[in-house]
A and B are shown apart, each in its own frame.
Chain A
Amino acid sequence: MVAEADRLPLAAAGSPNPRDRLAIAGIRLPVWRGIWFGLGLAAALALPFAVQSFTVFQMTQALIYAIAILGLNLLTGFNGQFSLGHSAFYAIGAYTAAILMNNWEVPYYWTLIPAGLICLVAGFLFGLPALRLEGLYLALATFALATATPQLLKYSHFEAFTGGVQGLDVFKPDSPVAWLSNDQWYYFFTLGVLLVLFLCAWNLVRGRTGRAIIAIRDNPIAARAMGINTALYKSLTFGVSALYTGIAGALGAIVVEFVAPDSFTFILAVTFLVGGVVGGVTSIPGAIFGGFFVLLIPNLSEWVAGMTGRTDAKGLSWAVYGLFLILAVYIMPSGAAGFVRWLTAKLAR
């Protein structure tokens, strides 16, 4: 299921990694990682002041997708459970935030917690019966979840809550900091949440729980034999994965200021999967690359298709998107993270 080259060596998850003594151009690998992280953070902090407001809004969306994709990576990359249903958890998170903000006037930053918790429970409850299902059958079950969700959201008896087909408008308050515009403030808010969540994921994966999760992916029978409660861990991973995607959904609702059933179709679930694979499904930083990919490439494809001068070039833009996707997977079969690992292996001595 997960490519051989993708598997995070168990040794890297926590115990001293012999590879850490390698160096490129004289600088040790851990130091390189620190440098890249520092550069990335600096770029992320400087970005909103250097570009147009609408671009900052788009970058915020990319970060939100990155969080959702990280959720999927935790489940699919680290735990080997295939999910085509994460659009459902994203939707649950989004609607929770929207309903809390609109009906109960909860400030937007508090909505992330209930959204996450509800999705944690939902994911766990879905993970339990899903224990019986492997591979393709799990994929089908999650697909059913993704397809059912928009219909449930449109259901007329829930309309009082969900706004039905029309959806709900959400109002985000203005930026509390005078020298930050709205878009900039919400970018930094999202960035903050992202850093916290990524740190938690990184910690999770490096610890005992992470090793257990990865062991279940690599060899479930051996894991059971070693005393790992596979049922509990698999369901919990489903829950945590849903938690991440749910928080992303809540952020999405706040930043976009609109939720509607048709925003959360099966296509969104596929988008997350695409982002995960392109970024590197067993990688945490890869999720960020994935997030940017799924945001920018459709826009790029539309632009390329628009160059033909036709207003109805919708089909063409999808074809171009497909082309970019094939190229990405061809050049980087293990995703961007896999590519970086390969490059590191080549250069390090």
Chain B
Amino acid sequence: MKLIQHAAGVLAAFTLVAGTAAAAEKMYGPGVSDTEIKIGNTNPYSGPASSYGTIGKALTAYWNMVNAAGGINGRKIEFISLDDGYSPPKTKEQVRKLVESDEVFALFQTLGTPTNSAVHQYVNKKEVPHLFVATGATKWGDPQSFPWTMGWQPNYQTEGRIYANYLLKNKPDAKVAILYQNDDYGKDYVKGFKDGLGDKAASMIIAEESYEVTDPTVDSQIVNLKASGADTFYNVTIPKFAAQAIRKAYDIGWRPLHLLNSVSASIKSTLEPAGLEKSQGIITTVYLKDPSDPAWKDDPEYKEWLAFMDKWYPEGDKSNPFNVYGYAVSQTLRHVLEKCGDDLTRENLMKQAASIQGLKVKMLLPGITVNTSANDFYPIEAMQMQKFEGQEWIRFGEIISAESS
């Protein structure tokens, strides 16, 4: 009896020690095992923003490629991407499913400003990493209040300010008309623009029209903006409505200086549906290499991306910058996951995500790198301006950087 008790005690002690030792080597959060890491995503594969659905497909293709090469530190990525139709209630439902039913390790590249807004509080309350969201709204870079959420692309207010500075320098007496989506995304862009114009905002902006993402068209808003007599048009719309706006403005004979927000600066998704001849002279900003820009024809990064598309996403459009975007942002997550090693807790994931220094991601414009810190949750803060001439975007000017800390 005593012998058995002793043996049991030794066994218990041994298991305790062994267990602690093992725990010190590998720490797992939910959704992680020795063989896989579950990552959750929502994307608008249907609905008014479905042209962004190709990003979700590019992401899926990238993780398929990573898995085929053995995964990250020996673990395959199970990438669960659900359709939310760009509808905030649906996003809330899908994210809840991902977090509570699928029990993913982290959310990655969930797309849309209103959609991410719907889950912002929930995700932070549940302490789920909400990384590299596919939206540039300024509010994603607020580690004090929302330590689990981080954006990726240059934020909208910075971009708005870039357009404002361009106007002040090149067309200080412009009369500006603004069309914006009536949600946080649209209002963010407008705020940055107005802040950039400063005191001159009130005198320069002579008309503002908004639209709801559930509206069928924006034609009446364009007619109103033309009637205001503006000669500059600041267009803050997603591709579907940007195309309508460009086409309508041209058709009614309004030819303003056209500033288009970068989220719609895709030839395939916006300019072609609008009509390339109607899109001449449109100005926007860019931070990724546009696949239709002939300057990158012989660039090794571009060729590598083309090979990726050919092998893993052959039905994807090789002239759509959204597919470059998906490719680039996935590299960032891959880098962060690799740095986690075997310490795959959610806390460590956020720590690694908040300590990226000078990361060169393929297909970013030369000179732009990814940087984050405990106070800087804006990974990319630099852009260059480009103008649409003929059939392609021509970049001009310097890389404008707004890097903070």
A316 to B93 Cα, complex, angstroms? 20
B57 contacts A311, CB within 8 Å?
yes
A314 contacts B45, CB within 8 Å?
yes
Residue of A55, A57, A165, A315 touching B213 (CB-CB under 8 A): A165
B88 contacts A258, CB within 8 Å?
yes
Interface residues of A in 67-90 (CB under 8 A from B): none
**A166-B117, A167-B118 known; A263+B89 contact, CB < 8 A:** yes
Q: Which of B94-102, B197-205, B264-272, B349-357 contacts A (4 or more CB under 8 A)?
A: B94-102
With a cutoff of 8 Å between Cβ atoms, the chain A residues found around residue B183 in the complex are 164-166
B85 contacts A311, CB within 8 Å?
no
B46 contacts A166, CB within 8 Å?
no
Residue of B57, B100, B118, B184 touching A258 (CB-CB under 8 A): B118
With a cutoff of 8 Å between Cβ atoms, the chain A residues found around residue B92 in the complex are 256-258
A52 CB–B CB distance under 8 Å: yes
A262 to B97 Cα, complex, angstroms? 19
With a cutoff of 8 Å between Cβ atoms, the chain A residues found around residue B56 in the complex are 311
With a cutoff of 8 Å between Cβ atoms, the chain B residues found around residue A154 in the complex are 212
A156 contacts B182, CB within 8 Å?
yes
B89 contacts A164, CB within 8 Å?
no
B83 CB–A CB distance under 8 Å: yes
**B192 CB → nearest A CB, Å:** 19
Interface residues of B in 32-57 (CB under 8 A from A): 45-46, 53, 56-57
A114 to B49 Cα, complex, angstroms? 37
Contact with B along A320-347 (1 / 0, CB 8 A): 0000000000000000000000000000
Contact with A along B199-219 (1 / 0, CB 8 A): 000000000001011100000
With a cutoff of 8 Å between Cβ atoms, the chain B residues found around residue A52 in the complex are 101
Closest to B125 in A: A171
B262 CB–A CB distance under 8 Å: no
Residue of A53, A54, A156, A260 touching B88 (CB-CB under 8 A): A260
B83 contacts A260, CB within 8 Å?
no
**A31 CB → nearest B CB, Å:** 40
With a cutoff of 8 Å between Cβ atoms, the chain B residues found around residue A263 in the complex are 89
With a cutoff of 8 Å between Cβ atoms, the chain A residues found around residue B89 in the complex are 167, 256, 258, 260, 262-263
The tally of CB-CB contacts under 8 A between chains A and B is 65
Closest to B120 in A: A169
Interface residues of A in 252-285 (CB under 8 A from B): 256-258, 260, 262-263
A126 to B101 Cα, complex, angstroms? 41
Most chain A CB neighbours (cut-off 10 Å) among B57, B97, B100: B100
A312 contacts B100, CB within 8 Å?
no
With a cutoff of 8 Å between Cβ atoms, the chain B residues found around residue A262 in the complex are 87-89, 214
Contact with B along A221-234 (1 / 0, CB 8 A): 00000000000000
Contact with A along B213-254 (1 / 0, CB 8 A): 110000000000000000000000000000000000000000
Closest to B56 in A: A311
B122 CB–A CB distance under 8 Å: yes
A38 to B214 Cα, complex, angstroms? 47
A54 contacts B97, CB within 8 Å?
yes
B122 contacts A257, CB within 8 Å?
yes
With a cutoff of 8 Å between Cβ atoms, the chain A residues found around residue B122 in the complex are 169, 257-258
A57 contacts B100, CB within 8 Å?
yes
Contact with A along B83-123 (1 / 0, CB 8 A): 10101110011001100110000000000001001100110
B81 CB–A CB distance under 8 Å: yes
B330 CB–A CB distance under 8 Å: no
B155 CB–A CB distance under 8 Å: no
B323 CB–A CB distance under 8 Å: no
A315 to B85 Cα, complex, angstroms? 12
Closest to B122 in A: A257
With a cutoff of 8 Å between Cβ atoms, the chain A residues found around residue B118 in the complex are 166-167, 169, 258, 260
A165 to B86 Cα, complex, angstroms? 12
B212 contacts A312, CB within 8 Å?
no
A165 to B115 Cα, complex, angstroms? 11
A52 to B56 Cα, complex, angstroms? 28
With a cutoff of 8 Å between Cβ atoms, the chain B residues found around residue A57 in the complex are 96, 100
Most chain A CB neighbours (cut-off 10 Å) among B88, B114, B184: B88
B45 contacts A166, CB within 8 Å?
no
**A312-B45, A312-B83 known; A167+B182 contact, CB < 8 A:** no
A314 contacts B101, CB within 8 Å?
no
Residue of B53, B96, B184, B210 touching A54 (CB-CB under 8 A): B96
A311 contacts B212, CB within 8 Å?
no
Closest to A167 in B: B88
Contact with B along A28-64 (1 / 0, CB 8 A): 0000000000000000000000001111010000000
B60 CB–A CB distance under 8 Å: yes
**A258-B88, A258-B92, A262-B87 known; A166+B114 contact, CB < 8 A:** yes
Give me the 7 closest cross-chain CB pairs, A-B, nearest first. Answer: A54-B101, A263-B89, A54-B100, A314-B46, A312-B45, A258-B92, A260-B88
Which residues from chain A sit less than 8 Å from chain B, CB to CB?
52-55, 57, 154, 156, 164-167, 169, 171, 256-258, 260, 262-263, 311-312, 314-315
Given A257-B92, A258-B88, A312-B46, 20 additional A-B pairs, CB 8 A: A53-B100, A54-B96, A54-B97, A154-B212, A164-B182, A165-B114, A165-B183, A166-B114, A166-B118, A166-B184, A167-B88, A169-B121, A169-B122, A258-B89, A262-B87, A311-B45, A311-B81, A314-B46, A314-B85, A315-B46
Mind listing 13 A-B residue pairs with CB under 8 Å? A53-B100, A57-B100, A164-B182, A165-B182, A165-B213, A166-B184, A167-B88, A256-B89, A257-B122, A258-B122, A260-B89, A312-B46, A314-B83
